[in-house]
Amino acid sequence: QVQLVESGGGLVQAGGSLRLSCAASGSIFSIYIMGWYRQAPGKQRELVAVFNSGGSTNIADSVKGRFTISRDNAKNTVYLQMNSLKPEDTAVYYCRLQGRVAGPVPLYDDWGQGTQVTVSS
């Protein structure tokens, strides 16, 4: 079975930095989408930054120039380097994996448990 483990969240002051990690374990054959979404209190979950098939990325306009997504394919791990953090970045950050895995599921598409990021003024 596939498991997504997220880490790196915490409390920082405005202007500070955090680095999030998401490690996928299990029998993963192909990754189609892997990256980060976030959900602030009272708001819908939104895309932050993801890798698509072939290595292209989708990055939200609100974080361009401040956040960088990277990956280690050998470890099936993605990272989110967050710089110049703002209070409006406060949210629970979720890792998403869509791909082909061992077992009968035609397409795996699931989320990690989430990690809290809080940015204070």
Confidence (pLDDT) at 51: 97
Compute the 3-state secondary structure of the chain and give helix, strand, coil in percent, each to the nearest 5.
5, 60, 35
Whole-angstrom distance, CA of residue 77 vs CA of residue 5: 9
Tens of pLDDT along 67-83? 999 999 899 999 999 99
User: In this predicted structure, what is the pLDDT of residue 17?
Assistant: 98
Which parts of the chain have pLDDT scores under 70? none
Cα 36 → chain centroid: 2
pLDDT of residue 54: 85
Q: Give residue 67's pLDDT.
A: 98
Q: What is the pLDDT of residues 42-54, one digit of tens each?
A: 999 999 999 998 8
Look at residue 1 in the predicted model and tell me its pLDDT.
Answer: 84
User: pLDDT at position 105, please?
Assistant: 84
Name, in order, each residue with C-beta under 8 angstroms of 110's C-beta and a sequence gap of 6 or more: 2, 4, 96, 97
